[in-house]
Chain A
Amino acid sequence: MNTDRRHIRLLVGLGVATVLLLGKIFSIQVLDDHYKIDADNNTTVREIIYPTRGVIYDRNGEILVGNKVAYDILVSPREVEAFDTLALAAVLDVTPEFLRGKMEEYHRNRRKIGFQSVTMLKQVPAETYNRFAEVQYRFPGFKGQVRSIRDYPINAGGNLLGYVSEVNQNYIDKHPGEYRSGDYAGMTGIEAAREADLRGEKGYHIFLRNSHNQIEQPYKDGEFDKEAVPGHDIVTTIDAELQQYGQELMKNKVGAIVAIEPGTGEILALVSSPGIDVSQLADIGKHYGEIAKDPYRPMYNRAVQASYPPGSVFKLVNGLIGLEEGVLRPEMMYPCSHGYHFGAGHRLGCHGHKSPINMEESIMMSCNAYYCYVLKNILDNRKFNGDYGEAIDHWHDMVTSFGFGTKLGSDFPNELSGSIPTSKTYNRAYGKGRWNSTTVISLSIGQGEILATPMHLANFCATVANRGFYYIPHIVKASEGVEIDPKFYEKQYTKVSLEHFPKVIKGMWRAVNSGAGMGGTAWVAHVDGLDICGKTGTAQNPRGADNSCFICFAPMDNPRIAIAAYVENGGFGATYAAPMASLMVEKYLNREVKREDLERRMKEANLMSRVKKD
């Protein structure tokens, strides 16, 4: 075989290999910046300075969430020398077995830990920490760390405030570049919604280090150090006293109370029961398991997430639509003989009251039959030529203009939309052309396919109180350094003309203020001098006793509070929801409650046994 030219091939091969090496070197030295940045990280160490988290205030300047100091005990296992286990255990108030177990664990994970420090004990009491600090020199490798944790001076709004906890990998991945392991972040409620304002900016001090992670000196005398910027304080629209009062009233009941200032859309109270106690929030890691396992689901914020049938409260909506459509006039009288009779022997029942009645009286007495006629007239309106699909879709548009069936767009996270049916809903269920106004008649009294959150109901109440518009409910006020979305300052009009609202308000006033025996459904809510206007609702609950519901606002002129209360399995609207809502109004407007018997009865009532657990 001819081998004369082979050395040329080998030399070419050598050339290729040389170019390959040089090419790779060129790429990492000249083309790729990544390694230069890494080199800087490598020789310097950044000691992170954690900012203090912003304080959360209520509308009157009371602190809802503050900060307090917590002491952690850290260990750098590589620096630990043989030590007196018993002495340290006594100082730290732990068993020697605990210490030995921990040290063994660190030994097992020594490769992973390396020269780092790990947290051995979290949030030890101040006196333990002080005791430890005195003898720390005897235990090289152990050190204390002062950290700022959340503190809750008053027990108000556990669900609303939300909790702060250490970020997990999933959370870090979802917020690229913002968090590192060991950081804390708001996970629910206001803490989560305003995380960007509350968290502040981390700072750092730069030190030079060697490869053993031993710090040698500050880098360039601290020229490049950055100090931490504390988080912005948040002022909420919550009235701490009212919130706390609402929670007391709702104790041992399932449901929600939402109170809104109609003139601004500011949420005054947002009670969800059962809720999370603020004492559990402070140490959520310890309590999370028990909260998550609770069959009454305290994490579930019923005020914005529970979809309930609104019941008779919804008659007001249908009444307003009827007025707008011209198929209802306030003076129209309809008969009621224990209900509305339709088809062959069908009846939608009603309670006993005088008959016939006009619109004001229908609201005052909450007559079912009256609103069956109203809804029938809305859907049988000639302009739709008997096309119920078109009619119901038109009705749907009117209803959603009040915010029902949609997310209101508040600044509170996890708000749900409830639901309002459309022609599709019924076409799917019955087939196209196979249903009519009698099929959907239960819509007239807020039953059937209608679902709304307590927040929707409170917002509707505020809309009525404002005589035709609402501000999107929100929970954070603008304050120094904290801006809120300008949409919260815009009036939201419904598709019902402003002129129709005073007509239903009259009925609502009479429902509360007619005096006992006159047939007003909510006389129990009457408070002298407050001019409360309200509407009860009793919604069928397929899972047991009826739900009790009530909306009201006060005073009638220039209203300052609009409120919705919803108590699961509470029975008639007047049984629980109405007294509670009126007590809230009294508390907010008068700052003291005179009806002590009623208050005690409400606080002591326990409906938990009626509620079916999941």
Chain B
Amino acid sequence: MIEENRHQRGLKQSIDWKLIGVYILLVLIGWVNIYASIHSEDPASIFDWSVRSGKQFVWMLTAFGLAGLILFVIPTRLWEEAAVPMYLFVCLLLVVVIFVSKDVKGSHSWFELGPVKFQPAEISKITTSLLLANVMSRQNFKITQWKDFLLAAAIIGVPMLIIVAESETGSALVYAGFIFVLYREGFSGWWLGLIGLVILLFITTLTLSPFTSILILIGVLTLCNAFMGPRKEFWKRLGLGGGFVLVMAFLPWIWEQVQEAVQARLTWIENVTWVPQAWESQDFRWAFLLKVEPLYILLALSFLSLPFLGRKAFRKRDGFLGLSIAAFIVGVILVFSTDIIFEKVLQDHQRSRIEVLLGMKEDLAGVGYNVNQSKIAIGSGGLTGKGFLQGTQTAFGFVPEQSTDFIFCTVGEEWGFIGCLVVILLYAFLITRLILDAERCREHFTRIYGYCVAACIFMHLFINVGMTVGLMPVIGIPLPLLSYGGSSLWAFTVLIFIFVALYRQEKKYF
């Protein structure tokens, strides 16, 4: 006993109180804003059980109870040891809910047990994180091995796909955040870059043009090759590739001039009918130029250079160059299939949300309504906000889901930029703290789990706030700890406090 006590640290040192402090602060901010968001002409008390703020008060107290339970009662061993059965059980729940749930705005993801409703998708984030940490912390696990990578990918992918099947694509998107965890554990950064490049190409193809996308693709590949190739070739590669991109950037303009000249010549021939036969045939020879688009010229020139690059890659044993060529070809295919993916694979509402986000379509009464109203609410807050309970946009009901998914609008409208700054910085602090704590851990399990928690919170934060200010398409996921709802608050409390408990375990003994 004495022996143990000497090594053990007390509550004060072993628990990350700053983390818990930020957690409590965010929950309280959420509660106050939920009250403000439903505030109307005849105000109810913030504790009134009949309105959402009163209910949230109860969810808060129970969440705090849950946190205590995890910290002080439940043995931390459980999380690592029971990861597999918990994961499987939750996956089962995810499947079952599809069949037994009611249709809520097209999605089948809610269990209803009398007055209590909850989404298994909320819990599955926790179980997935636990299993991922469990598997990846095993002795011989190496993410760079294909077998191990596929195992990790499957752990993330299975619940993700089931949730997509529930028509909760937004919640599924959060799982993409686990890629950051894999990266931390040794997954190649190139893959991360590649995913970013694919998203970039998708967006530029839709908003700008396939031409611009391919130009960007060539530019990025040139830069990578310049930096990754032999040092003496740096300037040569940068100059060749960069020069090509620069010249091609002017191609549409040059081509327009050429086409105008041809068109002028043709018009002239049509008007002046007495042109000798010989002239006519000469001009018609160039008429086909009108049908050629700059995109085809760019592609033709690029593909012409591929054999030369390929030969060089083969001779010099330059694997990176070879991969770049493959990446270029795949990239071009992707650019050309963007339209098909966009039109055929995505569902109508998803497509129109993306169109509104990218400014391809303005639809202020329809899909764009939410985003526009939300931006109006936040924008009208100004620097310092309208003041507590003074908001008109959220309280009058212009912003949809104003106490759940769009709770950030109330913060923006009533507390202004200052309020937004404080809330965002609190989240940034929370995530940073989680990452730094995780880095300090000796147990791989705890570290990986900590990263999972950080990734989940980050994805929720970025998607949710991004959505309310028009940086992201409308994806209905809650803002962690702030949004109204017991199931969401409990899930994030459990998610965070399992880490706090695991971390305490470390601190106690090391």
Contact = CB atoms under 8 A, between A and B. Distances in A.
Interface string A25-59: 11011101011101100110000000000000000
B424 A3 contact: no
Interface stretch (B72-80, B223-231, B462-470): B462-470
Nearest to A31: B379
Contacts of A7: 184, 435-436, 438-439
25 contacts: A1-B144, A1-B188, A6-B183, A10-B184, A21-B462, A21-B466, A21-B471, A24-B469, A25-B378, A25-B465, A29-B383, A29-B412, A29-B417, A30-B383, A30-B417, A32-B379, A35-B378, A35-B379, A35-B380, A42-B376, A42-B393, A42-B398, A43-B398, A111-B366, A114-B365
A42 B397 CA distance: 11
A130 to B, nearest CB: 37
Contacts of A82: none
Contacts of B469: 21, 24-25, 28
A429 interface: no
Nearest to A32: B379
A80 interface: no
A105 to B, nearest CB: 19
Contact of A11 (B144, B380, B432): B432
Contacts, number: 109
A3 B184 contact: yes
A124 interface: no
B462 A28 contact: no
A211 B375 contact: no
A438 interface: no
B30 interface: no
Interface stretch (A12-20, A62-70, A337-345, A569-577): A12-20
Contacts of A43: 392-393, 396, 398
Contacts of B375: 28, 35
B244 interface: no
B397 A211 contact: yes
B435 A35 contact: no
A26 B417 contact: yes
Interface of B: 144, 180, 183-186, 188-189, 365-366, 372-373, 375-383, 392-393, 396-398, 412, 416-417, 420-421, 424-425, 428, 431-432, 435-436, 438-439, 458, 462, 465-466, 469-471
A211 B398 contact: yes
A210 interface: yes
Contacts of B439: 7
A305 B317 CA distance: 82
B47 to A, nearest CB: 26
A25 B392 contact: no
A28 B381 CA distance: 9
A11 B379 contact: no
Nearest to B447: A7
Contacts of A35: 375-376, 378-380
Contacts of B380: 35-36, 38-39
A42 B380 CA distance: 11
A21 B465 CA distance: 7
Given A18-B428, A35-B376, A210 B396 contact: yes
Given A13-B180, A29-B383, 14 more contacts: A7-B436, A10-B435, A14-B431, A21-B466, A22-B420, A22-B424, A25-B420, A28-B378, A28-B469, A29-B378, A29-B416, A38-B376, A39-B392, A210-B397
Nearest to B393: A39
A33 to B, nearest CB: 9
B484 to A, nearest CB: 18
A383 B373 CA distance: 79
A3 B465 contact: no
B432 A14 contact: yes
Nearest to B428: A18
A211 B383 CA distance: 25
A563 to B, nearest CB: 45
Contacts of B428: 14-15, 18
Contact of A211 (B365, B396, B421, B466): B396
A53 to B, nearest CB: 31
Contacts of A18: 424-425, 428
A102 B432 CA distance: 61
Nearest to A42: B398
A90 B444 CA distance: 83
Q: What are the 4 tightest A-B residue pairs by CB atom distance, in nearest-first order?
A: A35-B379, A39-B380, A211-B397, A28-B379
Contact of B470 (A13, A24, A34, A211): A24
Interface in A535-572: none
A6 B462 contact: no
A11 B432 CA distance: 7
For A1, A17, A34, A39, the residue with the greatest tally of chain B CB atoms inside 10 Å of its CB is A39
A29 B376 contact: no
A21 B365 CA distance: 25
A39 B417 CA distance: 16
Contacts of A22: 420-421, 424
A17 B383 CA distance: 21
Contacts of B392: 39, 42-43
A36 B458 contact: no
Nearest to A38: B376
A44 to B, nearest CB: 10
Contacts of B366: 111
Contacts of A34: 379
B377 A39 contact: yes
A562 B302 CA distance: 78
Given A18-B424, A26-B417, A42-B393, A6 B144 contact: no
A43 B392 CA distance: 7
Interface in A405-428: none
For B185, B412, B425, B471, the residue with the greatest tally of chain A CB atoms inside 10 Å of its CB is B471
A183 to B, nearest CB: 21
B433 to A, nearest CB: 11
Nearest to A211: B397
Nearest to A15: B428
B458 A14 contact: yes
A13 to B, nearest CB: 8
Given A7-B439, A18-B424, A22-B421, A36 B382 contact: yes
Nearest to B413: A39
Contacts of B431: 14
A212 B375 CA distance: 19
A523 B380 CA distance: 82
Contacts of B382: 29-30, 36
Interface string A100-135: 000000000001001000000000000000000000
B412 A3 contact: no
Contacts of B188: 1
Nearest to B183: A6
Given A29-B416, A42-B393, A11 B435 contact: yes
Given A18-B428, A29-B379, A39-B376, A3 B471 contact: no
A180 to B, nearest CB: 16
B510 to A, nearest CB: 19
Nearest to A36: B380
B502 to A, nearest CB: 17
Contacts of A42: 373, 376, 392-393, 398
Contacts of A14: 428, 431-432, 435, 458
B471 A6 contact: no
Contacts of A25: 378, 412, 417, 420-421, 424, 465, 469
Contacts of B465: 21, 25
A26 B471 CA distance: 13
A574 B440 CA distance: 114
A531 to B, nearest CB: 57
A18 B466 CA distance: 10
Interface string A310-333: 000000000000000000000000
A10 B183 contact: yes
Contacts of B432: 11, 14
A26 B418 CA distance: 10
Contacts of A36: 379-380, 382
